[in-house]
Amino acid sequence: MRIATWNINSVRLRIHHVLRFIKEQNIDVMCLQETKTTDENFPSEDFRKVGMKYQYYRGEKSYNGVAIVSKFELTDPGYINWCKKNDTRHIYVKINNNIELHNFYVPAGGDEPDISINPKFEHKISFINEMKNYFLSDTKKNKILVGDLNIAPLEQDVWSHKQLLNVVSHTPIETETLLDIIQTGEWVDIMREFVPHNEKLYSWWSYRNRNWEISNRGRRLDHFWISKNLFSLVKSGVIYKDTRSWEKPSDHVPIIVDIDI
């Protein structure tokens, strides 16, 4: 099964990109974040036309939104209302009837990394702490976690560890909490199993930098984790950079993982 995750930054605006990617890469299960559309306006029929007839999504106008579309049956859909915000940042389904797939869009956190003066950052820290507590009590399930977690946890997940230590997405409170979730939740960070920790690895490049590929000032904000007991089933993992060069692209690129299930 080939599973991909991608912050598409408006699924209606970039539906042609998603469909192209699904067809060219033969994706079986596609997880999307920042779909930015209400459920009634989700391009469900477009996905059906490329074989993704099983769908579960939650969205809102102009902000957030998550979706899972699949060639294979999705069962037991649901979501958690993190921080009681009633926003659309999470859904889960079961694939193959026994593996729980979680799709997350973690809050970005605003500009100021101080919970006492920045409500957006306080929301982000509260959100990831709730994630930690939830998965701490959920270690026995077979599960996969994907999405835009808006945190680059390792030194080589950003273009400059030293310069970004006080920048939201790479501050110690964020990175330490995310690494703690991985450890206590008994997750494997798949991409860092295929790319050594001492090598640079990014999934996001700012729109502000027109020469993004030359300067390569990126961050690894997008993630694909799997339960430790399932990692032996993983055959490959890649961050697919090509989409960042497409016309009017998302600032994020997809992750593709092949799993023998």
Query: Rounded CA gap, 43 and 3, in Å?
Result: 20
Helix (H) or strand (E) holding 133: helix 119-136
Residue 36 carries which side chain, given as an amino acid letter? K
Cα 160–Cα 162–Cα 167 angle in degrees, nearest 5: 80
Query: How much is the pLDDT for 209?
Result: 85
Query: Rounded CA gap, 166 and 113, in Å?
Result: 7
The CATH code of domain 2-259 reads 3.60.10.10
Question: What is the CB-side half-sphere exposure of residue 18 using CA atoms within 13 A?
Answer: 33
Residue 100 carries which side chain, given as an amino acid letter? E
77-87 CB burial, b ≥16 within 10 A, e <16: eebeebbeeeb
Torsion 11-61-54-190 (CA) sign: positive
List CB contacts of 161: < 8 A, sequence separation 6 or more.
155, 170
Extents of the domains making up the chain: 2-259
Query: Rounded CA gap, 244 and 217, in Å?
Result: 13
**Whole-prediction pTM value?**
0.97
Query: How much is the pLDDT for 29?
Result: 98
Tell me which residue has tokens 């501050």.
171
List CB contacts of 65: < 8 A, sequence separation 6 or more.
11, 32, 33, 34, 35, 36, 37, 57, 58, 59, 88, 105
Cβ pair 33, 65 in contact under 8 A: yes
Chain centre to alpha carbon of residue 38: 19
Query: How much is the pLDDT for 93?
Result: 98
| 59-112 pLDDT, tens digit each | 999 999 999 999 999 999 999 999 999 999 999 999 998 999 999 999 999 999
Mean pLDDT by groups of 10 residues along the chain of 261 residues: 98 98 98 98 98 98 98 98 97 95 98 98 98 89 96 98 98 98 96 98 94 95 97 98 97 98 89
Query: How much is the pLDDT for 150?
Result: 98
